[in-house]
Structure 1
Amino acid sequence: MPRVPAHLCECALGMLQGGMRTADVARAINCNAHTVRRIRQRYRETGRTAERPRSGRPRVTTPAQDRYIRTSHLRDRYRMATTTARVTPGTHNPSISTQTVRNRLREAGLRACTPVVRQVLTRHHRQQRRLRAQTHHRLNRQDWQKVLFTEESQFCFIRGDGRIRVYRQRNECYTEACTRKRDRFGGGGSVMLWGGVSQHHRTKLFVIAGSLNAVRYRENILLPHVIPFLQAHPDMTLQHDNATSHTARSVRDFLQDRNASVLPWPVKSPDLNPIEHVWDLLDRRVRARAIPPRNVWKLAGALMEEWGNISQQELANLVQSVRRRCTAILNAAGMYFN
Protein backbone atom coordinates (compact mmCIF):
# COMPACT_ATOMS: atom_id res chain seq x y z
CA MET A 1 0.00 0.00 0.00
CA PRO A 2 1.17 3.58 -0.57
CA ARG A 3 2.62 5.49 2.32
CA VAL A 4 0.40 7.74 4.39
CA PRO A 5 1.46 11.39 3.96
CA ALA A 6 3.10 13.06 6.94
CA HIS A 7 0.28 15.54 7.51
CA LEU A 8 -2.29 12.69 7.64
CA CYS A 9 -0.12 10.86 10.17
CA GLU A 10 -0.19 13.96 12.36
CA CYS A 11 -3.96 14.22 11.93
CA ALA A 12 -4.38 10.57 12.83
CA LEU A 13 -2.30 11.02 15.98
CA GLY A 14 -4.33 14.04 16.99
CA MET A 15 -7.60 12.11 16.50
CA LEU A 16 -6.30 9.23 18.63
CA GLN A 17 -5.22 11.58 21.38
CA GLY A 18 -8.63 13.20 21.17
CA GLY A 19 -10.29 9.88 22.05
CA MET A 20 -11.42 8.64 18.62
CA ARG A 21 -11.46 4.91 17.93
CA THR A 22 -8.87 3.36 15.65
CA ALA A 23 -11.47 2.27 13.08
CA ASP A 24 -12.98 5.77 12.93
CA VAL A 25 -9.54 7.34 12.42
CA ALA A 26 -8.77 4.85 9.65
CA ARG A 27 -11.97 5.78 7.84
CA ALA A 28 -11.26 9.49 8.29
CA ILE A 29 -7.83 9.33 6.62
CA ASN A 30 -8.81 6.52 4.21
CA CYS A 31 -6.34 3.86 5.28
CA ASN A 32 -6.24 0.49 7.06
CA ALA A 33 -6.82 0.28 10.81
CA HIS A 34 -3.53 -1.60 11.17
CA THR A 35 -1.76 1.42 9.68
CA VAL A 36 -3.27 3.67 12.34
CA ARG A 37 -2.05 1.28 15.07
CA ARG A 38 1.47 1.38 13.59
CA ILE A 39 1.41 5.18 13.59
CA ARG A 40 0.49 5.18 17.29
CA GLN A 41 3.10 2.54 18.11
CA ARG A 42 5.78 4.45 16.20
CA TYR A 43 4.96 7.62 18.14
CA ARG A 44 5.24 5.77 21.45
CA GLU A 45 8.64 4.34 20.53
CA THR A 46 10.28 7.30 18.76
CA GLY A 47 8.16 10.32 19.62
CA ARG A 48 7.58 10.92 15.90
CA THR A 49 4.92 9.90 13.39
CA ALA A 50 7.29 9.92 10.38
CA GLU A 51 8.40 6.55 9.08
CA ARG A 52 11.91 5.34 9.74
CA PRO A 53 14.39 5.61 6.84
CA ARG A 54 14.34 2.64 4.50
CA SER A 55 17.36 1.17 2.83
CA GLY A 56 15.59 0.71 -0.49
CA ARG A 57 16.79 -1.37 -3.39
CA PRO A 58 20.62 -1.36 -3.66
CA ARG A 59 22.01 0.56 -6.63
CA VAL A 60 23.66 -1.52 -9.33
CA THR A 61 26.11 1.26 -10.23
CA THR A 62 28.77 3.01 -8.22
CA PRO A 63 29.17 6.82 -8.07
CA ALA A 64 32.15 6.51 -10.42
CA GLN A 65 30.02 4.61 -12.95
CA ASP A 66 27.29 7.24 -12.64
CA ARG A 67 29.83 9.91 -13.53
CA TYR A 68 31.08 7.81 -16.45
CA ILE A 69 27.55 7.41 -17.82
CA ARG A 70 26.90 11.13 -17.57
CA THR A 71 30.26 12.11 -19.10
CA SER A 72 29.94 9.63 -21.96
CA HIS A 73 26.61 11.04 -23.06
CA LEU A 74 27.78 14.64 -22.66
CA ARG A 75 30.74 13.95 -24.94
CA ASP A 76 28.63 12.11 -27.50
CA ARG A 77 25.08 13.46 -27.44
CA TYR A 78 23.93 10.83 -29.97
CA ARG A 79 25.29 7.89 -27.99
CA MET A 80 22.63 5.23 -27.43
CA ALA A 81 21.72 4.02 -23.97
CA THR A 82 22.06 0.42 -25.17
CA THR A 83 25.73 1.03 -26.02
CA THR A 84 26.47 2.43 -22.58
CA ALA A 85 24.63 -0.42 -20.87
CA ARG A 86 26.59 -3.02 -22.81
CA VAL A 87 30.00 -1.66 -21.80
CA THR A 88 29.19 -0.75 -18.18
CA PRO A 89 29.47 -3.63 -15.67
CA GLY A 90 27.10 -3.79 -12.72
CA THR A 91 27.95 -4.40 -9.07
CA HIS A 92 26.25 -7.81 -9.12
CA ASN A 93 25.69 -8.52 -12.84
CA PRO A 94 27.99 -8.62 -15.89
CA SER A 95 26.24 -5.52 -17.28
CA ILE A 96 23.53 -3.07 -16.34
CA SER A 97 20.20 -2.63 -18.10
CA THR A 98 19.34 0.07 -20.58
CA GLN A 99 16.70 1.43 -18.23
CA THR A 100 19.36 1.89 -15.54
CA VAL A 101 21.34 4.06 -17.94
CA ARG A 102 18.24 6.12 -18.69
CA ASN A 103 17.57 6.49 -14.97
CA ARG A 104 21.11 7.73 -14.30
CA LEU A 105 20.90 10.17 -17.19
CA ARG A 106 17.55 11.44 -15.94
CA GLU A 107 19.07 12.00 -12.51
CA ALA A 108 21.77 14.07 -14.22
CA GLY A 109 19.14 16.14 -16.05
CA LEU A 110 19.63 14.45 -19.44
CA ARG A 111 16.60 13.22 -21.38
CA ALA A 112 16.26 11.75 -24.85
CA CYS A 113 14.62 14.29 -27.17
CA THR A 114 14.10 14.73 -30.88
CA PRO A 115 16.96 16.91 -32.21
CA VAL A 116 16.04 20.25 -33.72
CA VAL A 117 16.86 20.40 -37.44
CA ARG A 118 18.54 23.66 -38.45
CA GLN A 119 20.40 24.97 -41.43
CA VAL A 120 24.17 24.92 -41.63
CA LEU A 121 25.67 28.26 -40.63
CA THR A 122 29.14 28.97 -41.96
CA ARG A 123 31.44 31.62 -40.53
CA HIS A 124 30.27 34.04 -43.21
CA HIS A 125 26.62 33.36 -42.36
CA ARG A 126 27.22 33.99 -38.67
CA GLN A 127 29.06 37.20 -39.43
CA GLN A 128 26.26 38.48 -41.65
CA ARG A 129 23.62 37.55 -39.07
CA ARG A 130 25.55 39.36 -36.38
CA LEU A 131 26.05 42.51 -38.48
CA ARG A 132 22.40 42.66 -39.52
CA ALA A 133 21.28 42.04 -35.94
CA GLN A 134 23.42 44.97 -34.79
CA THR A 135 21.82 47.19 -37.43
CA HIS A 136 18.27 46.04 -36.71
CA HIS A 137 18.82 46.31 -32.97
CA ARG A 138 19.07 50.09 -33.36
CA LEU A 139 15.50 50.24 -34.68
CA ASN A 140 12.91 51.15 -32.07
CA ARG A 141 9.32 50.05 -31.60
CA GLN A 142 7.98 52.68 -33.99
CA ASP A 143 10.40 51.59 -36.72
CA TRP A 144 9.26 47.97 -36.55
CA GLN A 145 5.65 49.09 -36.83
CA LYS A 146 6.47 50.25 -40.36
CA VAL A 147 7.73 46.86 -41.62
CA LEU A 148 5.62 44.41 -43.62
CA PHE A 149 6.95 40.89 -42.96
CA THR A 150 6.19 38.54 -45.86
CA GLU A 151 6.99 34.94 -46.68
CA GLU A 152 5.72 31.79 -48.38
CA SER A 153 4.90 28.62 -46.50
CA GLN A 154 3.81 25.14 -47.48
CA PHE A 155 1.03 23.36 -45.59
CA CYS A 156 0.80 19.60 -46.10
CA PHE A 157 -2.49 17.76 -45.90
CA ILE A 158 -0.73 14.85 -44.18
CA ARG A 159 1.99 15.98 -41.85
CA GLY A 160 4.28 14.28 -39.36
CA ASP A 161 6.06 17.00 -37.41
CA GLY A 162 7.35 14.93 -34.48
CA ARG A 163 4.96 16.52 -31.98
CA ILE A 164 2.37 13.73 -32.06
CA ARG A 165 2.77 11.05 -29.39
CA VAL A 166 0.72 7.93 -28.72
CA TYR A 167 0.16 6.33 -25.31
CA ARG A 168 -0.04 2.58 -25.61
CA GLN A 169 0.42 -0.60 -23.61
CA ARG A 170 2.63 -3.57 -24.33
CA ASN A 171 1.97 -5.44 -27.58
CA GLU A 172 -0.15 -2.56 -28.93
CA CYS A 173 2.41 -1.32 -31.43
CA TYR A 174 0.36 -2.31 -34.49
CA THR A 175 -3.16 -1.98 -33.15
CA GLU A 176 -5.59 0.21 -35.08
CA ALA A 177 -5.88 2.78 -32.30
CA CYS A 178 -2.11 3.24 -31.98
CA THR A 179 -1.04 3.56 -35.62
CA ARG A 180 -1.21 6.39 -38.15
CA LYS A 181 -1.89 5.78 -41.84
CA ARG A 182 0.48 7.55 -44.19
CA ASP A 183 1.32 7.27 -47.87
CA ARG A 184 5.04 6.62 -48.37
CA PHE A 185 5.04 8.61 -51.59
CA GLY A 186 3.57 11.83 -50.21
CA GLY A 187 -0.11 11.27 -50.88
CA GLY A 188 -2.51 13.96 -49.78
CA GLY A 189 -0.94 16.96 -51.47
CA SER A 190 -0.04 20.37 -50.07
CA VAL A 191 -0.91 24.05 -50.32
CA MET A 192 1.66 26.82 -50.83
CA LEU A 193 0.58 30.20 -49.44
CA TRP A 194 2.00 33.70 -49.38
CA GLY A 195 1.08 36.32 -46.82
CA GLY A 196 2.31 39.37 -44.97
CA VAL A 197 1.79 40.84 -41.50
CA SER A 198 2.71 44.06 -39.73
CA GLN A 199 1.96 45.79 -36.46
CA HIS A 200 -1.45 47.07 -37.58
CA HIS A 201 -2.15 45.31 -40.89
CA ARG A 202 -2.15 42.00 -42.69
CA THR A 203 -2.40 41.11 -46.36
CA LYS A 204 -4.71 38.59 -47.91
CA LEU A 205 -3.43 35.03 -48.27
CA PHE A 206 -2.50 34.08 -51.81
CA VAL A 207 -2.42 30.47 -52.99
CA ILE A 208 0.65 29.78 -55.10
CA ALA A 209 0.07 27.27 -57.89
CA GLY A 210 3.19 25.33 -58.77
CA SER A 211 6.73 26.43 -58.00
CA LEU A 212 7.55 30.06 -57.30
CA ASN A 213 10.12 31.74 -59.53
CA ALA A 214 11.06 35.38 -60.03
CA VAL A 215 8.49 35.96 -62.79
CA ARG A 216 5.59 34.52 -60.79
CA TYR A 217 6.71 36.34 -57.68
CA ARG A 218 6.77 39.63 -59.54
CA GLU A 219 3.57 39.19 -61.53
CA ASN A 220 1.39 37.23 -59.08
CA ILE A 221 2.45 38.59 -55.69
CA LEU A 222 4.34 41.88 -55.88
CA LEU A 223 2.27 43.56 -58.55
CA PRO A 224 -1.27 42.74 -57.32
CA HIS A 225 -0.62 42.52 -53.56
CA VAL A 226 2.57 44.16 -52.29
CA ILE A 227 2.78 47.28 -54.47
CA PRO A 228 -0.85 48.36 -53.81
CA PHE A 229 -0.29 47.83 -50.09
CA LEU A 230 2.92 49.90 -50.08
CA GLN A 231 1.22 52.63 -52.13
CA ALA A 232 -1.64 52.76 -49.62
CA HIS A 233 0.89 52.91 -46.76
CA PRO A 234 3.87 54.90 -48.12
CA ASP A 235 5.75 54.77 -44.81
CA MET A 236 5.88 50.94 -44.82
CA THR A 237 8.98 48.88 -45.68
CA LEU A 238 8.88 45.46 -47.34
CA GLN A 239 10.69 42.54 -45.75
CA HIS A 240 11.32 39.29 -47.58
CA ASP A 241 14.10 36.75 -47.20
CA ASN A 242 16.95 35.94 -49.56
CA ALA A 243 15.20 33.28 -51.63
CA THR A 244 16.24 33.20 -55.28
CA SER A 245 12.81 34.37 -56.41
CA HIS A 246 13.13 37.40 -54.08
CA THR A 247 16.68 38.45 -54.90
CA ALA A 248 16.58 38.07 -58.68
CA ARG A 249 17.73 41.13 -60.62
CA SER A 250 14.35 41.51 -62.31
CA VAL A 251 12.64 41.61 -58.91
CA ARG A 252 15.11 44.14 -57.51
CA ASP A 253 14.68 46.38 -60.56
CA PHE A 254 10.90 46.05 -60.35
CA LEU A 255 10.83 47.17 -56.72
CA GLN A 256 13.32 49.96 -57.37
CA ASP A 257 11.31 51.32 -60.29
CA ARG A 258 8.27 51.58 -58.02
CA ASN A 259 10.21 53.18 -55.16
CA ALA A 260 9.47 50.28 -52.83
CA SER A 261 11.64 50.30 -49.72
CA VAL A 262 13.08 46.85 -48.88
CA LEU A 263 14.55 45.95 -45.50
CA PRO A 264 17.99 44.23 -45.84
CA TRP A 265 17.76 40.76 -44.36
CA PRO A 266 20.57 38.42 -43.22
CA VAL A 267 21.00 35.08 -44.94
CA LYS A 268 19.60 31.93 -43.31
CA SER A 269 17.69 33.79 -40.62
CA PRO A 270 14.17 32.35 -40.36
CA ASP A 271 14.44 32.70 -36.58
CA LEU A 272 14.39 36.49 -37.00
CA ASN A 273 11.16 36.60 -38.99
CA PRO A 274 8.05 36.73 -36.77
CA ILE A 275 5.82 35.44 -39.57
CA GLU A 276 7.35 31.99 -39.03
CA HIS A 277 5.41 31.84 -35.76
CA VAL A 278 2.29 33.05 -37.55
CA TRP A 279 2.50 30.07 -39.91
CA ASP A 280 2.90 27.72 -36.96
CA LEU A 281 -0.05 29.32 -35.18
CA LEU A 282 -2.15 29.06 -38.34
CA ASP A 283 -1.30 25.39 -38.78
CA ARG A 284 -2.17 24.60 -35.16
CA ARG A 285 -5.52 26.37 -35.43
CA VAL A 286 -6.47 24.42 -38.54
CA ARG A 287 -5.49 21.07 -37.03
CA ALA A 288 -7.37 21.86 -33.81
CA ARG A 289 -10.67 22.17 -35.66
CA ALA A 290 -13.48 19.87 -34.59
CA ILE A 291 -13.95 18.81 -38.23
CA PRO A 292 -10.52 18.64 -39.91
CA PRO A 293 -10.26 19.35 -43.66
CA ARG A 294 -10.70 16.26 -45.80
CA ASN A 295 -8.87 17.36 -48.93
CA VAL A 296 -6.47 20.00 -50.20
CA TRP A 297 -9.21 22.42 -51.28
CA LYS A 298 -10.85 22.33 -47.88
CA LEU A 299 -7.41 22.73 -46.29
CA ALA A 300 -6.87 25.91 -48.31
CA GLY A 301 -10.29 27.20 -47.31
CA ALA A 302 -9.66 26.45 -43.64
CA LEU A 303 -6.30 28.24 -43.78
CA MET A 304 -7.94 31.30 -45.32
CA GLU A 305 -10.64 31.34 -42.64
CA GLU A 306 -8.24 30.88 -39.72
CA TRP A 307 -5.96 33.56 -41.15
CA GLY A 308 -8.75 36.07 -40.62
CA ASN A 309 -9.51 34.71 -37.13
CA ILE A 310 -6.02 35.42 -35.77
CA SER A 311 -6.27 38.54 -33.66
CA GLN A 312 -4.23 41.57 -34.63
CA GLN A 313 -2.89 41.74 -31.09
CA GLU A 314 -1.21 38.36 -31.55
CA LEU A 315 0.42 39.61 -34.74
CA ALA A 316 1.51 42.84 -33.03
CA ASN A 317 3.12 40.89 -30.18
CA LEU A 318 5.14 38.85 -32.67
CA VAL A 319 6.24 41.93 -34.60
CA GLN A 320 7.43 43.61 -31.41
CA SER A 321 9.53 40.54 -30.58
CA VAL A 322 12.00 41.21 -33.43
CA ARG A 323 14.19 43.46 -31.31
CA ARG A 324 14.49 40.74 -28.67
CA ARG A 325 15.43 38.28 -31.41
CA CYS A 326 18.22 40.59 -32.55
CA THR A 327 19.51 40.73 -28.98
CA ALA A 328 19.43 36.94 -28.78
CA ILE A 329 21.45 36.61 -32.01
CA LEU A 330 24.05 39.04 -30.70
CA ASN A 331 24.29 37.09 -27.44
CA ALA A 332 24.66 33.85 -29.42
CA ALA A 333 27.46 35.33 -31.59
CA GLY A 334 25.43 34.87 -34.77
CA MET A 335 24.28 31.33 -34.04
CA TYR A 336 20.69 30.18 -33.61
CA PHE A 337 19.05 30.90 -30.29
CA ASN A 338 16.43 29.13 -28.19
Structure 2
Amino acid sequence: MVTCKDTRAVIIALHKKGFTGKDIAASKIAPKTTIYRIIKNLKESGSIVVKKASGRPRKSSKCQDRLLKLIQLRDRGTTSTELAQEWQQAGMSASARTVRQRLLEDGLVSRRTAKKTLLSRKNIRDRLIFCKRYWDWTDEDWGKVIFSDESPFRLFGASRKKLVRRRPGERYHQSCVMPTVKHPETIHVWGCFSAKGVGSQFCLRTHP
Protein backbone atom coordinates (compact mmCIF):
# COMPACT_ATOMS: atom_id res chain seq x y z
CA MET A 1 0.00 0.00 0.00
CA VAL A 2 1.35 3.43 -0.95
CA THR A 3 1.55 5.77 2.05
CA CYS A 4 1.34 9.56 2.06
CA LYS A 5 5.10 9.68 2.61
CA ASP A 6 5.70 7.42 -0.41
CA THR A 7 3.38 9.58 -2.55
CA ARG A 8 5.26 12.75 -1.60
CA ALA A 9 8.57 11.06 -2.43
CA VAL A 10 7.25 10.02 -5.87
CA ILE A 11 6.03 13.57 -6.60
CA ILE A 12 9.43 15.04 -5.63
CA ALA A 13 11.29 12.46 -7.73
CA LEU A 14 9.13 13.15 -10.78
CA HIS A 15 9.55 16.91 -10.36
CA LYS A 16 13.33 16.59 -10.12
CA LYS A 17 13.28 14.63 -13.39
CA GLY A 18 11.68 17.58 -15.14
CA PHE A 19 7.97 16.81 -14.84
CA THR A 20 5.75 19.84 -14.23
CA GLY A 21 2.97 19.97 -11.67
CA LYS A 22 0.45 19.60 -14.49
CA ASP A 23 2.21 16.49 -15.81
CA ILE A 24 2.24 14.88 -12.37
CA ALA A 25 -1.43 15.80 -11.72
CA ALA A 26 -2.39 13.93 -14.92
CA SER A 27 -1.24 10.68 -13.27
CA LYS A 28 -3.81 11.26 -10.48
CA ILE A 29 -1.49 9.95 -7.76
CA ALA A 30 -2.66 12.80 -5.50
CA PRO A 31 -5.01 15.82 -5.58
CA LYS A 32 -3.73 18.64 -7.80
CA THR A 33 -3.61 21.12 -4.90
CA THR A 34 -1.48 18.72 -2.86
CA ILE A 35 0.96 18.22 -5.74
CA TYR A 36 1.43 21.97 -6.23
CA ARG A 37 1.87 22.54 -2.48
CA ILE A 38 4.60 19.87 -2.31
CA ILE A 39 6.45 21.38 -5.29
CA LYS A 40 6.11 24.92 -3.93
CA ASN A 41 7.34 23.87 -0.49
CA LEU A 42 10.30 22.08 -2.06
CA LYS A 43 11.32 25.19 -4.02
CA GLU A 44 11.02 27.46 -0.99
CA SER A 45 12.55 25.34 1.76
CA GLY A 46 13.88 22.16 0.18
CA SER A 47 11.53 20.10 2.35
CA ILE A 48 8.92 17.60 1.19
CA VAL A 49 6.68 18.18 4.21
CA VAL A 50 3.25 19.47 3.16
CA LYS A 51 2.04 22.41 5.18
CA LYS A 52 -1.43 22.25 6.60
CA ALA A 53 -3.89 24.08 4.41
CA SER A 54 -5.40 27.25 5.81
CA GLY A 55 -9.05 28.13 5.85
CA ARG A 56 -12.22 26.58 7.28
CA PRO A 57 -11.85 22.84 8.10
CA ARG A 58 -13.82 20.42 5.96
CA LYS A 59 -17.26 19.78 7.41
CA SER A 60 -17.61 16.14 6.38
CA SER A 61 -15.31 13.13 6.52
CA LYS A 62 -14.48 10.85 3.59
CA CYS A 63 -16.75 8.20 5.07
CA GLN A 64 -19.66 10.64 5.25
CA ASP A 65 -18.97 11.75 1.66
CA ARG A 66 -19.12 8.13 0.49
CA LEU A 67 -22.44 7.71 2.30
CA LEU A 68 -23.84 10.78 0.54
CA LYS A 69 -22.74 9.40 -2.84
CA LEU A 70 -24.44 6.06 -2.12
CA ILE A 71 -27.68 7.83 -1.14
CA GLN A 72 -27.64 9.80 -4.40
CA LEU A 73 -26.87 6.77 -6.58
CA ARG A 74 -29.72 4.86 -4.94
CA ASP A 75 -32.16 7.43 -6.33
CA ARG A 76 -30.74 9.74 -9.00
CA GLY A 77 -33.76 12.04 -8.85
CA THR A 78 -33.33 13.04 -5.20
CA THR A 79 -32.81 16.81 -4.85
CA SER A 80 -29.91 18.35 -2.93
CA THR A 81 -32.36 19.56 -0.25
CA GLU A 82 -33.76 16.04 0.21
CA LEU A 83 -30.23 14.63 0.29
CA ALA A 84 -29.25 17.10 3.00
CA GLN A 85 -32.20 15.87 5.09
CA GLU A 86 -31.25 12.20 4.59
CA TRP A 87 -27.62 13.02 5.35
CA GLN A 88 -28.76 14.72 8.56
CA GLN A 89 -30.60 11.55 9.61
CA ALA A 90 -27.26 9.75 9.28
CA GLY A 91 -25.64 12.20 11.69
CA MET A 92 -24.25 14.80 9.26
CA SER A 93 -25.58 18.35 9.44
CA ALA A 94 -24.98 20.20 6.16
CA SER A 95 -26.76 22.54 3.77
CA ALA A 96 -28.00 21.75 0.27
CA ARG A 97 -25.09 23.83 -1.06
CA THR A 98 -22.56 21.60 0.73
CA VAL A 99 -24.33 18.55 -0.70
CA ARG A 100 -23.98 19.92 -4.24
CA GLN A 101 -20.28 20.67 -3.68
CA ARG A 102 -19.57 17.14 -2.44
CA LEU A 103 -21.44 15.56 -5.35
CA LEU A 104 -19.59 17.77 -7.84
CA GLU A 105 -16.31 16.55 -6.38
CA ASP A 106 -17.46 13.00 -7.23
CA GLY A 107 -18.39 14.03 -10.77
CA LEU A 108 -22.16 13.87 -10.14
CA VAL A 109 -23.58 16.85 -12.04
CA SER A 110 -27.25 17.83 -12.16
CA ARG A 111 -28.67 17.56 -15.69
CA ARG A 112 -32.07 17.21 -17.34
CA THR A 113 -33.14 13.60 -17.82
CA ALA A 114 -32.60 12.23 -21.31
CA LYS A 115 -35.68 10.89 -23.09
CA LYS A 116 -35.55 7.30 -24.24
CA THR A 117 -38.13 4.87 -25.62
CA LEU A 118 -39.57 2.64 -22.90
CA LEU A 119 -38.69 -0.99 -23.65
CA SER A 120 -40.66 -3.92 -22.25
CA ARG A 121 -39.03 -7.27 -21.48
CA LYS A 122 -40.44 -8.54 -24.78
CA ASN A 123 -38.92 -5.61 -26.68
CA ILE A 124 -35.52 -6.26 -25.11
CA ARG A 125 -35.73 -10.00 -25.83
CA ASP A 126 -36.80 -9.46 -29.45
CA ARG A 127 -33.97 -6.96 -30.07
CA LEU A 128 -31.42 -9.35 -28.61
CA ILE A 129 -32.73 -12.19 -30.80
CA PHE A 130 -32.53 -9.91 -33.86
CA CYS A 131 -28.91 -8.94 -33.09
CA LYS A 132 -27.84 -12.54 -32.58
CA ARG A 133 -29.57 -13.63 -35.78
CA TYR A 134 -27.96 -11.03 -38.02
CA TRP A 135 -24.64 -10.23 -36.27
CA ASP A 136 -22.60 -11.91 -39.02
CA TRP A 137 -24.38 -10.28 -41.98
CA THR A 138 -22.13 -8.56 -44.51
CA ASP A 139 -22.66 -5.23 -46.31
CA GLU A 140 -23.84 -7.25 -49.29
CA ASP A 141 -26.52 -8.96 -47.17
CA TRP A 142 -27.81 -5.65 -45.78
CA GLY A 143 -27.75 -4.20 -49.29
CA LYS A 144 -30.72 -6.44 -50.12
CA VAL A 145 -32.86 -5.05 -47.28
CA ILE A 146 -35.37 -2.18 -47.52
CA PHE A 147 -36.29 -0.25 -44.36
CA SER A 148 -39.68 1.49 -44.27
CA ASP A 149 -41.86 3.51 -41.90
CA GLU A 150 -44.85 5.83 -41.88
CA SER A 151 -45.52 9.14 -40.10
CA PRO A 152 -48.66 11.26 -39.57
CA PHE A 153 -48.71 14.95 -40.57
CA ARG A 154 -51.41 17.41 -39.44
CA LEU A 155 -52.44 19.82 -42.18
CA PHE A 156 -53.87 22.42 -39.78
CA GLY A 157 -52.32 23.70 -36.57
CA ALA A 158 -49.32 22.38 -34.68
CA SER A 159 -49.19 19.02 -32.95
CA ARG A 160 -46.81 20.33 -30.27
CA LYS A 161 -47.15 23.08 -27.67
CA LYS A 162 -45.88 26.47 -28.75
CA LEU A 163 -44.47 29.17 -26.49
CA VAL A 164 -45.23 32.87 -26.99
CA ARG A 165 -44.18 36.01 -25.12
CA ARG A 166 -47.07 38.24 -24.09
CA ARG A 167 -47.91 41.11 -21.78
CA PRO A 168 -50.60 40.94 -19.04
CA GLY A 169 -54.08 40.89 -20.58
CA GLU A 170 -52.88 39.59 -23.97
CA ARG A 171 -53.74 35.92 -23.46
CA TYR A 172 -56.37 35.95 -26.21
CA HIS A 173 -54.68 38.53 -28.44
CA GLN A 174 -54.70 37.35 -32.05
CA SER A 175 -50.92 37.19 -32.20
CA CYS A 176 -50.77 35.10 -28.99
CA VAL A 177 -53.23 32.30 -29.73
CA MET A 178 -52.94 29.14 -31.82
CA PRO A 179 -56.08 28.38 -33.90
CA THR A 180 -57.43 24.84 -33.51
CA VAL A 181 -60.15 22.69 -35.07
CA LYS A 182 -61.94 19.74 -33.48
CA HIS A 183 -60.93 17.14 -36.07
CA PRO A 184 -57.82 18.36 -37.95
CA GLU A 185 -57.11 16.76 -41.29
CA THR A 186 -54.16 14.37 -41.09
CA ILE A 187 -52.27 12.48 -43.77
CA HIS A 188 -50.08 9.42 -43.25
CA VAL A 189 -47.00 9.26 -45.40
CA TRP A 190 -45.07 6.04 -46.07
CA GLY A 191 -41.45 6.03 -47.17
CA CYS A 192 -38.47 3.71 -47.43
CA PHE A 193 -34.71 3.57 -47.97
CA SER A 194 -32.01 1.00 -48.65
CA ALA A 195 -28.30 0.87 -49.36
CA LYS A 196 -29.06 2.17 -52.86
CA GLY A 197 -30.73 5.35 -51.59
CA VAL A 198 -34.09 6.82 -50.61
CA GLY A 199 -37.26 5.42 -52.13
CA SER A 200 -40.50 7.15 -53.16
CA GLN A 201 -43.05 8.46 -50.67
CA PHE A 202 -46.75 7.53 -50.70
CA CYS A 203 -49.76 9.06 -49.02
CA LEU A 204 -51.65 6.19 -47.38
CA ARG A 205 -54.82 7.80 -46.04
CA THR A 206 -56.31 11.03 -44.71
CA HIS A 207 -58.47 11.89 -41.70
CA PRO A 208 -61.19 12.70 -41.06
TM-score with structure 1 length normalisation?
0.34
**Paired residue for 2:151?**
153
Q: Is the 8 A contact 1:154 1:193 kept in 2?
A: yes
Cα pair distance change 1:60/1:133, threshold 3 Å: same
What residue in structure 2 maps to residue 144 of structure 1?
142
> Structure 1 residues 198, 55: closer, same or farther in 2, change over 3 A?
farther
Which residue identity does 1:55 align to in structure 2? S
1:78 aligns with 77
User: In the alignment, what sits opposite 1:96?
Assistant: 94
Q: Which residue number corresponds to residue 202 of structure 1?
A: 198
Give per-residue Cα distances to partners, 1:147-180, cap 9 Å, x unaligned: 11111235785657xxxxxxxxxxxxx999xxxx
The structure with the greater share of residues assigned to helix is 1
2 CA distance for matches of 1:84 and 1:95? Answer: 11
Distance in 2 between residues matched to 1:57 and 1:154, nearest whole Å: 61
Cα pair 2:143 2:196 within 8 Å, conserved: yes
Please give the residue correspondences for 1:238-253 in structure 2 after superposition, counting only pairs within 5 Å. none
Structure 1 residue 142, shift from structure 2 partner: 0.7
- Cα distance in 2 for residues equivalent to 1:60 and 1:186: 58
Q: Please give the alpha-carbon distance, in whole angstroms, between the structure 2 residues aligned to 1:186 and 1:107.
A: 50
Query: Which position in structure 2 is the counterpart of 1:118?
Result: 117
What is residue 107 of structure 1 aligned with on the other side? 105
Following TM superposition, by how much is the alpha carbon of 1:72 offset from its aligned partner in structure 2, in angstroms?
Answer: 0.6
2: CA distance between counterparts of 1:108 and 1:175?
42
| Correspondence 1:239-278 to 2 at 5 A | none
Question: Deviation at 1:112?
Answer: 2.8
- Superposed, 1:218-233 pairs within 5 Å as none
Cα deviation for residue 133 of structure 1 reads 1.4
What is the identity, as a one-letter code, of the residue corresponding to 2:96?
T
> 1:111: Cα distance to partner?
2.5
User: Given the superposition, is the C-alpha separation of residues 125 and 186 from structure 1 closer, same or farther in structure 2, using an over 3 Å criterion?
Assistant: farther
Measured in 1, the distance between the counterparts of 2:103 and 2:117 equals 25
Q: 1:149 aligns to what SS in structure 2? A: strand
Amino acid in the other structure paired with 2:136: R
* 1:180-219 alignment, distance < 5 Å: 193-206=189-202, 210=206
CA-CA distance at 1:207 after TM superposition: 5.1
CA distance in 1, matches of 2:95, 2:74: 21
Q: Which has the higher contact order (CA 8 A, sep 6+)?
A: 1
Q: TM-score, normalised by structure 2?
A: 0.51
Deviation at 1:202, TM superposition (A): 0.5
CA distance in 2, matches of 1:185, 1:74: 45
Identity %: 29
Q: CA deviation at 1:67?
A: 0.7
Q: Distance in 2 between matches of 1:155 and 1:58?
A: 62
Unaligned segments of structure 2, at least 5 residues: 1-40, 168-175
Contact 1:153 1:192 in 2 (8 A): yes
Structure 2 CA distance for aligned equivalents of residues 185 and 108 of structure 1: 49
Does residue 61 of structure 1 match 2:57? Answer: no
Contact 2:188–2:204 under 8 Å retained in 1: yes
Letter matched to residue 103 of structure 1: Q
More strand per residue: 1 or 2?
A: 2
Report if the CA contact (8 A) 1:84-1:101 is conserved.
yes
CA distance in 1, matches of 2:82, 2:104: 17
SS in 1 for 2:198: coil
Shift of 1:143: 0.8
Give the deviation of 1:132 after TM superposition. Answer: 1.8
CA distance, structure 2, for counterparts of residue 78 and residue 86 of structure 1: 15
| Structure-2 change in CA distance of 1:175 and 1:79 (3 Å) | farther
Structure 1 residues 86 and 140, CA gap change in structure 2 (3 angstroms): same
Q: Aligned equivalents of 1:56 and 1:185: distance in 2? A: 62
Unaligned 5+ residue runs, structure 1?
1-41, 161-173, 177-181, 212-338
Q: Cα offset for 1:140?
A: 0.9
